[in-house]
Amino acid sequence: MSGRALEGQTAIVTGASRGIGRCVAIRLAEAGACVVAVARSEDCLQNLESEIRASGGCAEVRTLDVRDTDAFAELAKDVFEKRGRLDILVNNAGIARDGLLARMSEESWDAVIETNLKGCFNGCRAAARWMIRQRSGSIVNISSVAGVAGNAGQANYCASKAGVIGLTKSLARELGGRNIRVNAVAPGFIRTDMTRGVTEEFEKEFCGRIALGRFGEVDDAANVVVFLAGPNAGYITGQVVCVDGGLVI
């Protein structure tokens, strides 16, 4: 990607305090975008803001629970009114509450669907309003290969991430006529806090199923998100890009 492909653009990234979201926020800022980094608590966000600003980037941090439809709408409105644009939305916030379906509590099911799927809907709806008005925009939703292939012990997570894919494809069709692209990235096993704590034995066994034979790093996923968000992906919409080292082929 050419140095500052996103100069002058405004981006919102949810789940920006850690993992893939944090890396996406940094990379978008490096590409020239002004990044509104969003997370539930400000704890890790301040670090991120100073890190981006220290390297000459533009960042603003905001706390938001993505499950809150009205709050997300307010945030998008505020960003648009303040910056005069809303070019990029990365719906990255997500949680996992793993367990076998037969023993899964209703609370675990609801919590994962509410954050991962409804949170994504809330973001898309909030941003679409301004992007339609602007007649341009790019939304990247973070799904998962687990949503593509399924995974035992993660029925709630997989259902939410498969839902994100359906949402992405439908919205791409709805908004294509307004020059708004909507894509999804489906990471495989990426080393983050969410995937921390696996045993060496599990890693060895699991890597045997990955064509490239290793777990991914946050940059592997973030680079694809930034590509899809930007103008170099100008003719790509409604797609799901798996970033999984060849776990699902």
Partner 1 sequence: MSSVAEIVIEVIAEKMGVPKEDVKPEAHLVNDLNVDSLDQADIVMELEEKFDMSVSEEEAAKIRTVGDIIKYIEQHKS
235 classed as catalytic: no
Give the count of residues interacting with partner 1 (CB under 8 A).
7
174 binds partner 1 (CB under 8 A): yes
Query: N- to C-terminal Cα distance for the chain?
Result: 26
User: Nearer Cβ to partner 1, position 130 or 157?
Assistant: 130
Q: Which of 5, 58, 132, 248 binds partner 1 (CB under 8 A)?
A: 132
Positive or negative: CA dihedral 151, 112, 28, 11 = positive
Q: Is residue 155 a contact residue for partner 1 (CB under 8 A)?
A: no
Work out the angle at residue 33's Cα, subtended by the Cα atoms of residues 124 and 64, and round it to the nearest 5 degrees.
45
Tallying the residues shown for the chain, one arrives at: 249
Spatial contact of 84 and 7, defined as CB atoms under 8 Å apart: no
* Closest distance of CB 101 from partner 1, Å: 34
Q: Identify which range of 84-92, 97-105, 172-180, 187-195 contacts partner 1 by CB under 8 A.
A: 172-180
Decide: 220 and 244 in contact? Cβ < 8 Å: no
By the rule CB under 8 A, 129 interacts with partner 1: yes
Catalytic, out of 157, 189, 215, 227: 157
CB 40 within 8 A of CB 65: yes
Q: Can residue 125 be called a binding residue for partner 1 (CB under 8 A)?
A: no
Nearest partner of 181 among 235, 219, 134, judged by Cα: 235
Among all residues, which ones are annotated catalytic?
157
Residues that bind partner 1 (CB under 8 A): 129, 132-133, 174-175, 177-178
